[in-house]
Every structure is written in structure tokens, then in C-alpha cells.
Amino acid sequence: MPTTANLVAFALVSLGMVLTPGPNMIYLISRSLCQGRWAGIISLGGVALGFVVYMLCAAFGITALLFAVPYAYDALRFAGAAYLLWLAWQAVKPGGRSPFEVQFLPQDSPRRLFAMGLVTNLLNPKIAMLYLALLPQFLSAPEDAAGVLTQSLVLGFTQIGISVTVNALIAIAAGSIAGFLAGRPVWLLVQRWLMGTVLAGLAFKMATEARR
């Protein structure tokens, strides 16, 4: 099992990433605004399934990689740091777009809503990088394959739980949030810079810390 400190740290990183606008959030908010809250929730079901698919593939792959390839841990560590820096830039770069500024989406059946949520998540490289590059940073003294796999699964399902919960709340409240932010662009700017600073700090810490 991961240590409490690692689990809390990973939960905070997961929370920060789910609050950073990306394809999943934009799609879910668009669905909720165009077709209602239940459409957003059904779409979220597909997104959640995509998380599970990516997480299981990464958990087994990371387990094999860390014990088969020399310096694999360091390679993943630097890849994770570089990816967090890229996310930080995406958050603060000029011309950033709010996910609440959506375009019209057609009415779709529940089955298609679920399928589109799944496809949107599976085609999102942010999710693959989250698991492959960031999970290893929060493993506690990986000495055997079973321990690495268990920790990876616990961390992965923690991220899924946080992401589904936050996205569900956003989908339900999308209309109210969009109305609130419409006349308050400074809130969007503050959120972007705050998240960019946090992600950059995490990237620096990840790149400079020694292997546990």
C-alpha cells in the first residue's frame, strides 16, 4: 500500500489536474449545457470507463517496466516533470479558453453519450501520461512486483474517484458556474495562474528529488 503521505500528495495532484481544463471537462460541460445534467452524467460514465482502461494498462505496464529496464524510474520521473511543465504552460499561456465557453452539440441518445464520453477519454493523451509518468513518483520503496502493482492500483482508483466526483459536480452545476463566470473574467485568470504555479512547483520537485 502507498504511504499516507504519498496517497495524499497524489490525491492533491489528481485534484489539480482534474480542475485544469481539458478535453474531458470541455466535453462534459458542453453536454450538460446543451442537453441537460443527466446527459453530462451519462457521458461521465463513459469517461470513467476510459480511466479504468488506461489505469489498468498502466499499472501492469509500470510494474513490468520498473523491474525490467535499468533507469526506467528516472526516465518516468523526468517525463512526468516535463509533462507537468507543459500543463503549467497550457494553464497560463495567452489566449487560454474557458471550458464554459462551449459550442452547440446535437442531442444524442444515452448510448451514444456514453460511447462519446469513452472515446473522448481514450483519445486524451493527458490521461495516458498521468498514469505512465506520474504514478511511479508516488510509489513507496518498490521492492517487489506485487507491491508496485498494488500501490499503482490504489493510486489509480484514487485518481478515478476524485476525477469522477469533481466532474460530476461540475456537470451538475455547469449552468450556474457558466453564468457566474460570464461577467467575472478575473476569476478565470486567477484560477489559471494558480494552477500553473502549482503544476510548475510539482514539476520542479519531481525533477530534483532522488529516487526513494
Domain count, the chain: 1
Q: CA geometry: angle at 148 spanning 206 and 73, to 5°?
A: 35
Residue 50 and residue 39: Cα distance in Å, rounded? Answer: 17
Range of the domain at 87: 4-208
Report the percentage of the chain scoring pLDDT > 90: 8
pLDDT tens per residue, range 152-188: 889 889 989 998 999 899 888 876 776 666 566 676 6
* Residue 152 burial (10 A CB sphere; 0-12, 13-18, 19+): buried
Amino acid symbol at 91: A
23-61: pLDDT as tens digits: 777 778 878 877 788 888 999 999 999 889 888 887 777
**pTM for this one?**
0.68
Q: Which of 52, 44, 20 is nearest to 158 (CA)?
A: 52
Q: Which residues of 12-37 are buried (b: 16+ CB within 10 A; e: fewer)?
A: ebbebbbbbbbbbbbbbbbbbbbbeb
User: What are the start-end ranges of the E strands in 3-131?
Assistant: none
Are 167 and 44 within 8 A, CB to CB? yes
Confidence band (pLDDT; 50, 70, 90) for 193? confident
Across 35-170, the runs of DSSP E, i.e. the strands, are: none
Q: At 114, is the pLDDT very low, low, confident or very high (cuts 50, 70, 90)?
A: very high
